[in-house]
Amino acid sequence: MQNKHPLCYITVLFALGFIGAAAVSAAESEAEGFHCVITPSQTVELGSPVPGQLHEVLVDRSDTVSEGQIVASLDSRLEQASLEIARFKAETDTEVSLRKAAFAIDSRTARRLNSLAASKVASAQDKDRAARESGLSAWRLQQAKDDLDLYALELARAEATLDRRRIRSPIDGKVLARLHNPGEYIEDEALLRIVKLDPLYIEAILPMRLFGSVRPGMQAEVFPELEIGTSHAATVVLVDPMGDAGSGTFGARLSLPNPDLLIPAGLKCRVQLKDKGPVLSELQGKPDNLPRLAAAKSVLR
C-alpha cells in the first residue's frame, strides 16, 4: 500500500482545523444570536386631508390614541354654517306639503269637471283646463320630493366636508411627536407622528449562509439589550428576497407581540432562531456533520 506524503497530512490537518474552527465560530455566533433592532410595526406621519388653520390639537406626545379617534381639528366655522343650512333644507318639507295640498285640490276639481262635462253642464274646455292643472300639480309635487332628496344629498356632502376638517388617527398607537399647535396654518406638512407598538417588528441582519433556511413562520427568541437574560418569543413574517454583497448579509423581519406595551421600541437586540433548517443544523458545533469535513477526512483513509 502506497504511503501518502507527509505534506499531504499536514495540509489535510490544517484544512480540518480551519474548517472546524470556522464551524465552531459560526456555532458560537448563532448561540449568541444575530444583531437586530426593535422598531414600531407602523409609523404614521399624520397630516390633514385639507389645508387650513388649526383650531385645536387634542393629544400630545406620549398620549395613547385609538383608530378613528379625533386628535385635532381645523377652523370650521364656515363649514359648520353650511352644514346647518343644508340640514334645515333637508328637514323642511313645507314645499312638499304645499304641493300635496295643491295636487289634492286640483285632482278633485278635475274629477268634478269631468263629471259635469259628462252631464253637459261644463264645457270641454273647462274639463281640459282642470285636467291640465291636475297633471301639472302632480309634477310639481314630484319636483318638491326630488328637491328634498337633493337636499339630503347636500346635507351628506356638508357633513363630509365638515368631517374632513377633523383629523383622526388611522391606527391604535402612541403619539411620538406633536409638530404643530393651534393657530398655525397647515397644508402639506405632518401634524403628528404616531407609532404602533403592538406588535413590534424585529429587523434582523442575518449572514448569507442562512439564506434559504430562514422562512416566514419560523419561531425565534429576542433578547433586548436592556433586559439581560430576558427573552421574548417572536415569529418571522418576511425575509428579504436578496442579500447585500458588501456586508454578506440579508434582512428578515419578525413580529413580536406587545399587548401591554412593556417592551420599548428603538432598542438593539439579539435574535436566536429556534426552528433549524438544514443550514442551521450544520452550525450546532458539530464539525463532523459538515460535508466538507467528511470529504477532508476521507483523504486520510
Q: What count of residues does the chain have?
A: 301
Whether the predicted pLDDT of 26 surpasses 70:
no
Planar angle of CA 198, 200, 204, nearest 5 degrees: 170
**pLDDT higher than threshold 90 for residue 279:** no
Write down the pLDDT at residue 133: 86
Residue scoring higher pLDDT (191 or 279)? 191
pLDDT at 54: 96
**90, containing H or E segment:** helix 77-91
CB–CB of 269/36 below 8 Å? Answer: yes
* Residue 156 scores a pLDDT above 80: yes
Closest CA to 221 of 23, 29, 31: 31
- Which one is predicted more confidently, 143 or 20? 143
Contact 8, 296 (CB under 8 A): no
pLDDT > 70 in the chain, percent: 80
What pLDDT is recorded for position 106? Answer: 82
pLDDT at 36 over 90: yes
* For residues 173-188, average pLDDT: 94
Separation of alpha carbons 207 and 244, rounded Å: 10
Report the b/e string of 19-50 with b at 16+ CB within 10 A.
bbeebeebbeebeebbebbbbbbeebebbbee
Q: What is the model's pLDDT at position 252?
A: 96
Does 169 or 107 have the greater pLDDT score?
169
C-alpha cell recorded at residue 45: 406621519
Q: CA 281: distance to chain centroid?
A: 37
Q: Is 248 helix (H, G, I), strand (E, B) or coil?
A: coil
Q: Is the pLDDT of residue 301 over 50?
A: no
Q: From residue 248, how far is each of 9, 28, 215, 233, 243 by CA, in Å?
A: 33, 18, 18, 26, 7
pLDDT at 298: 38
pLDDT at 138 over 70: yes
Residue 292 pLDDT > 50: no
Do strands 52-57 and 185-186 pair parallel, antiparallel, or not at all (unpaired)? antiparallel
Residue 83 grid coordinates: 352644514
- Listed range (4-18, 24-38, 105-119, 172-186) with the worst mean pLDDT: 4-18
Predicted confidence (pLDDT) at residue 143 exceeds the cutoff of 70: yes
In the structure grid, which three cell numbers stand for residue 116, read together?
A: 259635469
Stretch 6-30: mean pLDDT? 40
Query: Is 146 a residue whose pLDDT tops 60?
Result: yes
Of the pLDDT bands very low, low, confident and very high (cuts 50, 70, 90), residue 25 is very low
Asked if 174 contacts 65 with a C-beta cutoff of 8 angstroms, the reply is yes
What confidence tier does 130 reach under pLDDT thresholds 50, 70, 90? Answer: confident
Q: State how far the Cα of 208 lies from the Cα of 99, in Å rounded to an integer.
A: 81
Strand 52-57's sheet: what is its strand order?
166-168, 70-74, 52-57, 185-186
Mean pLDDT of the chain: 82
